[in-house]
Structure 1
């Protein structure tokens, strides 16, 4: 299997390293650190759904050993610098969970 097929959010495409005019390099900034590659891929997918280009990766040794803790286990999500603020707003909204007072527990009662 080639690398492009193995990674749903490829981070090695050289054609995406410059602007469409091919004269300005794109600078990527990390917007999230997650416990492992899978959660990082989920966040990258969420950003893609909002139209934000995103990359997810994990250090090679950590991925090979299946680590999800520590520096080698960290999954990273990066976006081009012009999308950083928008990406952080989206990710902040995702992390906000409703309080118990906001939940309608009557919907969960058994009949």
Structure 2
């Protein structure tokens, strides 16, 4: 799954959609500790109202395309 975010490493790919914000932050921290850049794409309404149900508040963990396999191996 490609995303509109791009970087020096190319396209960013959705690695996982965690169940809640805490899980997203844990995944982000683990990957960053292994040297993998991470972008958390957060759905706007959920951020405003702090809810996460039926897609509201959904967070997508994205990593550079060239590091997807390494990131999957870490998780």
Does the alignment reach a TM-score above 0.5? yes
Q: 1:58 aligns with which of 18, 24, 42?
A: 42
Q: TM-score, normalised by structure 1?
A: 0.56
Q: Which has the higher contact order (CA 8 A, sep 6+)?
A: 2
2:32 is matched with 48
- Runs (4 or more) in structure 1 with deviation over 4 Å come to none
Q: How many residue pairs align between the two structures?
A: 70
Higher CA-based Rg: 1
Pair 1:28-2:24 in alignment: no
C-alpha root-mean-square deviation of aligned residues, in Å? 1.6
Q: TM-score, normalised by structure 2?
A: 0.79
Q: Is there any run of 5+ residues in structure 1 with no aligned partner, and where?
A: 1-16, 20-24, 92-111
- How far residue 73 of structure 1 moved from its aligned partner, in angstroms, is 2.2
Q: Counting strand residues as a fraction of each chain, which structure ranks higher?
A: 2
1:5 is matched with none
